[in-house]
């Protein structure tokens, strides 16, 4: 197939349009992620950037499915995806940042027969984990 000047120009315009569209979509996704993280920080008082290491250290991903965490595909506990939109934490407490943090620190205070262990995580660390979960 032989390309004329007009075909090359059309191809260049189409390629440029695709690159612009990809940049807009990428920027929108980044902007949405940053907005979600800012909301989660304000809600929980934690830093979602510190959470992945904490989630691995305390073994959360061994029991729960957690987006963005390598190996976060546990099936013992419920998936933690979309937690910010839920009404309850673990089906036993209203989904508020303070309840989520306290649940992470000491789940038996809410549900004495819970299979979720008290891991020894501190309240400050739990706030970081809560911020991560609310940002997803």
**Amino acid 31: pLDDT:** 87
Which residues on adjacent β-strands are paired with residue 94?
88
Integer Cα distance of 70 and 60 in angstroms: 12
CA atoms within a 13 Å half-sphere pointing along the CA-CB vector of 81:
10
Provide the whole-model pTM.
Answer: 0.77
Range 31-58 average pLDDT: 94
pLDDT digits (tens, 9 = 90+) for 86-131: 999 999 999 999 999 999 999 999 999 999 999 999 999 999 999 9
Q: What count of other Cβ atoms lies within 10 Å of the Cβ of residue 64?
A: 21
């Amino acid at each position: 197939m032989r390309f004329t000047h007009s075909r090359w120009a059309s191809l260049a315009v189409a390629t440029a349009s695709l690159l612009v569209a990809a940049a807009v979509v990428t920027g929108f996704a980044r902007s949405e992620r940053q907005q979600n993280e800012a909301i989660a920080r304000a809600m929980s008082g934690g830093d979602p950037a510190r959470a992945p290491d904490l989630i691995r250290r305390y073994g959360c991903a061994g029991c729960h499915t957690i987006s963005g965490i390598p190996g976060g595909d546990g099936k013992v506990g419920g998936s933690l995806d979309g937690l910010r939109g839920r009404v309850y934490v673990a089906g036993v407490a209203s989904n508020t940042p303070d309840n989520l943090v306290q649940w992470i620190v000491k789940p038996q205070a809410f549900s004495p027969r819970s299979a979720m262990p008290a891991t020894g995580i501190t309240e400050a660390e739990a706030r970081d984990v809560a911020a991560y979960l609310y940002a997803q």
